[in-house]
């Protein structure tokens, strides 16, 4: 590029000679042409060039030796062999040829990896000249970096105050400066600070490298993902490659099946392009996008949208490796911006050479990056993929199509019992998939779907297309969507290719007028595509009919050929009928995964809270419940535990961490209600099962990884969903308020669990965990931390691309400056905090306070050593840096009921000896939790306690060991034990089924089957035992202890 203003002066490599030592002394070693670091970077001119320009193609799939190209002869100077650094210089000139600030920074960085770049920035800032190559001293660099760090975090007014203070300090110390003593550079007044620190192009902050931000359209700006990766690797970002210098890494996300598939895909592309797959660094990328509110006034107009990219996520989405790539206004369509970013990401898999600062040295390495997933909440995912959201009648379950039926999709009574039996590791009482009465929550082709999604409406098309015409046009029927339909429509998992096939069929049928617009719309609804796609299809079909097809009797010769060209995927995409997201090959529809925080806690848990509140209020017991539990919730809140940020009831502007804390103590809260307040014993039993199954399911989901038992995880979700169905029968439908996204017509039939798609979409998490690993690795709370850096800059939102560009540049410079600052101050500067452990537990003032709370039954935070299982409660307000006093606690299980109706174990506590423990041992190697009292309103506290822990563990058996809910094989026995159900069941009908095998006298099996018995409960015998009056003379059983069996109550029947 002749106009390139960042190319160095023309240099002939064979003619250049530089002294080896900066002081001109000859060490006798001149075998090769070498140069001083001072002459490495030269002033720039508009017409200068540096030899022949080198492009990416010169480096693709070509990895340089990983050996060190330089050796340090002193603490202040680094010497280079000119032939070794020449590739680095050429590479930087090519990669950053349109970014002079970044090019200038990284060229100086070659002189001393991790130091020289920022030292040159400080020197030019203090001198006010961009065309200087000297380096600032260590003290000057440190002081100005600290000042810049402070200034960037202050408001404009606070910056002025700080500068006024510094001006006074400088004026005060100037008269007493020691002669010959050099002071670090301190800006003297606001104008000086603007020039040196943060304001001008020559300031420290003005010279921080950043990527170029460009306008996508009037409402969006973005930067190059490739430039961002180049910048981060050149800065020395600590990236955990899936294949790095130490070989294959299998920790965290890198060890998942999806990561393995991405690695195989990248290796194949590297080899196909003629590269060396074994000499390449491979990394993963996670994309996330969402809108956020900037101002609570006129939220629709004052909301923004951002897209972030996380490089090499391993144990989760690290905010340091998460980078804002795009910024826009929330109310506009973002599909074009996302499609452009997708186009940038596709070439990254092919292999690109990058400069990498690693381990104190610079290397040119070949790299490949692949997108592993695109986490997004349901509204965002629906908008990006042009599919219906969870409010659609055919799209309740994410990424699946199936008409919702409250009557037939949930498990019937027999299938519910079957799930419980399978969870108990017993044989199924019916064959899975053969039930004709329900779908058993399955979105596969089962007989129950014949009733769930029958073809009864006249709007569905019935006339088929001409197979010969379809073959000529290159169009085929999508799977399970061939017209005419059978008696029912089968559910399907959505894929982009399947959706494209459906749109093509619908477009053709309407264009040749085989179907009308209503039939076309009904057909596309069976794919759960967005309304925007349906409108575009109908509009384009009308255009094709008018311009190409016409009426059958007036069709011109060759119209099929013209139509074939217009029905190709490329042509339909260019006309906007098929969204660009559907045709990209980078991310499949199944890679748009569920966000655990939104799916579980902000979705399902929030709805559970609403129905519990509705149930208790319908029994007129809400105020009693609040008066009983809020004193305890307030006590726990005052502990200020970082893992349990609990708030008193009722909810008020709760955020995610409040819902997580609420879920931790929900079984304990419901147990208090059932034992002390609840009057509806049958409803209370259903509530207990609902909360216990919820607790078990959440524990399993949050603990599971890619090696989990898929069947058991699916069973726990389906049993929980069945308990939701059961509990909805105990809600007062007459007093129910119409919920959001619920039409008045469906008010009388819709249950609260079906309004949102969060509940049925829980089933998606099983396969997601198997493919992508633990849910906590994709925690959306970590992803949303990037919004926190954007919001302060968008307080006075201006709706122009220029404003958005300025703000995104500021965010990028802040993040890059933070990395440079931490790199310079290695290890990073941190305020000394000797109470790192303190946020996870609580330290009481003295031993007496703990003993008083033990007697009164007040919550008590504890820690437990993993090596000896001791429970300890810290106390003492001393300032010792080494020792913490604690009171040891013993657990006693004698004469205490082992479990309650909500599946929790209780025990007694006894205070032991006082001891001390080293402070550092409270940071690692311990568990944190809270002892919770078994509250009784009519009796004195009986020293009965349960626990709540950070790792979702529970008491099990009669030992001090804690275990996770998901490891309890016998959970269903306590889960469905009606220990609180008593005389109200008298007169209820009961059904019993036995599986039998009939054998002859030689022991050979001659038959098998099931035997059913019907009867009714005639008497209450106490302690969960009933007397059964059987119909007829079917059996001699007279008494049955119901709590020894799994139970399910459905429509007045109890099935054992």
pLDDT means over runs of 10, the chain (1056 residues) = 35 31 33 31 31 38 37 39 74 88 87 82 88 86 86 77 74 66 68 81 89 93 95 91 91 94 94 90 94 74 89 86 92 91 93 87 91 92 87 84 89 82 64 77 88 83 90 92 88 95 95 92 93 94 86 70 90 94 92 92 92 92 94 93 92 90 93 89 86 90 88 91 88 56 44 80 94 92 80 78 90 90 71 56 90 92 80 76 82 62 79 82 77 84 87 69 51 46 59 71 75 69 60 46 39 40
Whole-number pLDDT of residue 1011: 66
Query: What is the DSSP secondary-structure string of 814-858?
Result: HHHHHHHHHHHTSSPP----TTTTGGGS--BS-HHHHHHHHHHT-
Distance CA 693, CA 423 (A): 12
Phi and psi at residue 50, in whole multiples of 5°? Answer: -125, 90
Distance CA 493, CA 485 (A): 18
Smallest Cα–Cα separation from 542: which of 509, 581, 589? 509
Whole-number pLDDT of residue 865: 77
Distance CA 770, CA 412 (A): 28
Whole-number pLDDT of residue 981: 38
Name the pTM for this structure. Answer: 0.80
Distance CA 548, CA 535 (A): 19
Burial 924-960 (b: 16+ CB within 10 A, else e): eebbbbbbbbbbeeeeeeebbbbbbbbebbbbbeeee
Q: Quick check: bond before 330 cis, omega within 30?
A: no
Q: Which tokens sit at 63?
A: 């990895």
SS3 letters across 539-553 = HHHHHHHHHHHCCHH
Contact, 728 vs 751, CB < 8 A?
Answer: yes
**Residue 501: strand, helix, or coil:** helix
Beta strands at 989-999 and 1053-1055: parallel, antiparallel or unpaired:
parallel
Whole-number pLDDT of residue 1043: 36
- Beta-bridge partners for 535: none
Distance CA 888, CA 913 (A): 6
Q: Which tokens sit at 761?
A: 């979409």
Whole-number pLDDT of residue 620: 92
Contact, 306 vs 550, CB < 8 A?
Answer: no
Taking every pair of Cα atoms in the chain, the longest distance, rounded to a whole number of angstroms, is: 115
The helix/strand count (H/E) of the chain reads as: 31, 28
Q: Which tokens sit at 445?
A: 């082709």
- Find all residues with CB under 8 Å of 939, minimum gap 6, and list them: none
Burial of residue 549, with CB atoms counted within 10 A of its CB: 0-12 exposed, 13-18 middle, 19 or more buried: buried
Radius of gyration of the chain (CA): 35
Question: DSSP assignment, residue 680?
Answer: -
Cα 687–Cα 689–Cα 692 angle in degrees, nearest 5: 105
SS3 letters across 351-390 = CEEEEEEECCEEEEEEEEEEEEECCCCHHHHHHHHCECCC
- Beta-bridge partners for 244: 247
Q: Which tokens sit at 299?
A: 């939220």
Strands of the sheet containing 945-949, edge to edge, are 908-918, 883-892, 871-875, 860-865, 926-933, 945-949
Query: What is the DSSP secondary-structure string of 579-624?
Result: -HHHH-SSS-GGGSPPPHIIIIIIIIIHHHHHHHHHHHHHTT-HHH
Whole-number pLDDT of residue 201: 85
Burial of residue 14, with CB atoms counted within 10 A of its CB: 0-12 exposed, 13-18 middle, 19 or more buried: exposed
Burial 967-981 (b: 16+ CB within 10 A, else e): ebeebbbbbbbbbbb
Cα 904–Cα 908–Cα 909 angle in degrees, nearest 5: 115
- Find all residues with CB under 8 Å of 874, minimum gap 6, and list them: 841, 842, 843, 844, 863, 884, 885, 886, 922
Smallest Cα–Cα separation from 726: which of 287, 305, 461, 1047? 1047
How far, CA to CA in Å, does 92 sit from each of 8, 61, 104, 202, 846? 11, 17, 9, 21, 63
Q: How many CB atoms lie within 10 A of CB 507?
A: 25
């Amino acid at each position: 590029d002749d106009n390139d203003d960042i190319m160095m002066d023309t240099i002939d490599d064979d003619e250049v000679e530089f002294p080896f030592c900066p002081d001109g002394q000859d060490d006798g070693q001149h075998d090769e042409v070498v140069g001083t670091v001072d002459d490495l970077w030269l002033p720039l001119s508009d017409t200068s060039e540096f030899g022949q320009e080198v492009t990416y193609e010169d480096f693709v799939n070509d990895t340089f030796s990983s050996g060190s190209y330089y050796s340090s002869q002193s603490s202040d100077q680094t010497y280079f062999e000119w032939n070794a650094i020449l590739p680095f210089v050429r590479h930087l000139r090519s990669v950053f040829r349109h970014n002079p600030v970044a090019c200038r920074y990284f060229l100086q960085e070659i002189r001393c990896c991790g130091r020289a770049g920022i030292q040159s920035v400080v020197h030019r800032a203090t001198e006010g000249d961009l065309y200087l190559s000297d380096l600032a001293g260590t003290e000057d660099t440190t002081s100005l970096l600290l000042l810049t760090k402070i200034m960037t975090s202050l408001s404009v007014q606070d910056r002025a105050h700080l500068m006024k203070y510094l001006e006074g300090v400088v004026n005060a110390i100037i008269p007493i400066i020691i002669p010959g003593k050099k002071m670090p550079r301190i800006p003297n007044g606001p104008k000086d600070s603007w020039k040196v620190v943060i304001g001008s192009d020559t300031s420290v902050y003005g010279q921080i490298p950043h990527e170029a931000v460009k306008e996508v359209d009037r409402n969006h700006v973005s930067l190059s993902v490739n430039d961002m990766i180049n910048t981060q690797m050149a800065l020395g970002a600590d990236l955990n490659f899936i294949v790095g210098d130490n070989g294959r890494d299998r920790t965290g996300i890198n060890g998942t099946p999806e990561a393995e598939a991405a690695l195989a895909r990248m290796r194949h592309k590297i080899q196909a392009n003629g590269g060396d797959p074994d000499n390449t660094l491979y990394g993963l990328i996670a994309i996330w996008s969402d809108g956020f509110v900037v101002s609570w006034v006129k939220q629709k107009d004052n909301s923004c949208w951002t897209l972030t990219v996380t490089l090499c996520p391993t144990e989760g989405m690290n905010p340091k490796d998460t980078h804002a790539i795009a910024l826009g206004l929330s109310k506009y369509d973002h599909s074009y911006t996302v499609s452009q970013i997708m186009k940038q990401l596709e070439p990254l898999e092919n292999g690109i050479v990058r400069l990498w600062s690693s381990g104190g040295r610079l290397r040119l390495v070949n790299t490949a990056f692949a997108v592993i997933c695109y986490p997004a909440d349901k509204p965002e995912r629906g908008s990006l993929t042009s599919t219906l959201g969870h409010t659609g009648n055919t799209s309740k379950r994410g990424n699946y199509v199936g008409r919702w039926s409250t009557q037939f999709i949930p498990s019937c009574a027999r299938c519910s019992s079957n799930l419980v039996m399978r969870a108990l590791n017993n044989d199924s009482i019916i064959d899975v998939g053969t039930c004709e009465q329900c779908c058993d929550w399955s979105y596969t082709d089962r007989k129950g779907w014949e009733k769930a999604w029958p073809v009864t409406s006249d709007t569905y098309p019935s006339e088929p297309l001409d197979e010969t015409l379809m073959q000529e046009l290159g169009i085929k029927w999508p799977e399970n969507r061939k017209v005419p339909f059978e008696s029912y429509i089968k559910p399907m998992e959505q894929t982009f290719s399947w959706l494209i096939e459906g749109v093509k069929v619908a477009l053709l049928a309407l264009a040749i007028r085989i179907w009308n617009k209503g039939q076309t719309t009904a057909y596309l609804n069976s794919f759960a595509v967005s309304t925007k796609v349906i409108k575009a299809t109908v509009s384009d079909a009308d255009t094709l009919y008018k311009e190409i097809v016409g009426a059958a009797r007036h069709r011109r010769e060759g119209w099929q050929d013209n139509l074939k060209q217009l029905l190709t995927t490329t042509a339909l995409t260019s006309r906007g009928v098929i969204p660009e997201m559907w045709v990209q090959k980078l991310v499949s529809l199944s890679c748009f995964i569920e966000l655990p925080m939104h799916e579980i806690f902000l979705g399902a848990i929030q709805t559970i809270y609403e129905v519990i509140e509705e149930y208790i209020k319908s029994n007129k017991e809400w105020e009693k419940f609040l008066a009983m539990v809020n004193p305890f919730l307030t006590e726990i809140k005052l502990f200020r535990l970082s893992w349990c940020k609990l708030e008193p009831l009722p909810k008020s502007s709760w955020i995610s961490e409040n819902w997580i804390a609420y879920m931790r103590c929900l079984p304990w809260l419901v147990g208090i209600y059932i034992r002390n307040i609840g009057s509806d014993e049958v409803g209370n039993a259903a509530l207990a099962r609902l909360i216990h199954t919820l607790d078990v399911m959440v524990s399993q989901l949050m603990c599971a990884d890619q090696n989990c038992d898929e069947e058991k995880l699916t069973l726990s979700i389906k049993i929980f969903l069945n308990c939701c169905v059961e509990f909805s029968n105990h809600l007062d439908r007459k007093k129910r308020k119409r919920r959001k996204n619920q039409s008045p017509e469906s008010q009388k039939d819709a249950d609260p669990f079906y309004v949102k798609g969060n509940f049925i979409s829980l089933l998606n998490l099983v396969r997601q965990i198997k493919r992508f690993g633990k849910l906590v690795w994709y925690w959306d709370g970590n992803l949303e931390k990037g919004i926190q850096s954007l919001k302060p800059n968008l307080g006075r939102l201006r709706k122009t691309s220029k404003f958005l560009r300025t703000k995104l540049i500021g965010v990028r410079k802040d993040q890059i400056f933070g990395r440079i600052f931490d790199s310079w101050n290695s290890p990073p500067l941190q305020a000394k905090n000797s109470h790192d452990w303190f946020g996870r537990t609580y330290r009481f003032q003295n031993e007496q306070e703990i003993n008083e709370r033990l007697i009164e039954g007040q919550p008590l935070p504890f820690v437990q050593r993993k090596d000896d299982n001791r429970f300890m409660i810290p106390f003492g307000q001393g300032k010792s840096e080494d020792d913490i006093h604690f009171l040891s606690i013993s657990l006693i299980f004698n004469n205490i009921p082992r479990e309650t109706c909500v599946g929790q174990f209780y025990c007694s506590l006894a205070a032991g000896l006082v001891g001390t423990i080293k402070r550092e041992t409270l940071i690692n190697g311990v568990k944190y939790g809270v002892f919770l009292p078994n509250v009784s309103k009519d009796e004195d506290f009986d020293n009965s306690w349960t626990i709540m822990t950070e790792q979702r563990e529970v008491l099990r058996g009669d030992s001090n060991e804690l275990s996770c809910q998901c490891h309890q094989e016998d959970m269903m026995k306590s889960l469905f034990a009606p220990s609180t159900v008593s005389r109200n069941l008298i007169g209820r009908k009961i059904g019993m089924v036995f599986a039998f095998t009939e054998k002859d006298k030689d022991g050979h099996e001659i038959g098998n089957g099931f035997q059913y018995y019907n009867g009714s409960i005639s008497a209450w015998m106490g302690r969960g035992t009933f007397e059964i009056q059987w119909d007829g003379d079917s059996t001699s059983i007279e008494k049955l202890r119901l709590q020894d069996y799994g139970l399910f109550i459905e429509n007045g029947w109890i099935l054992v």
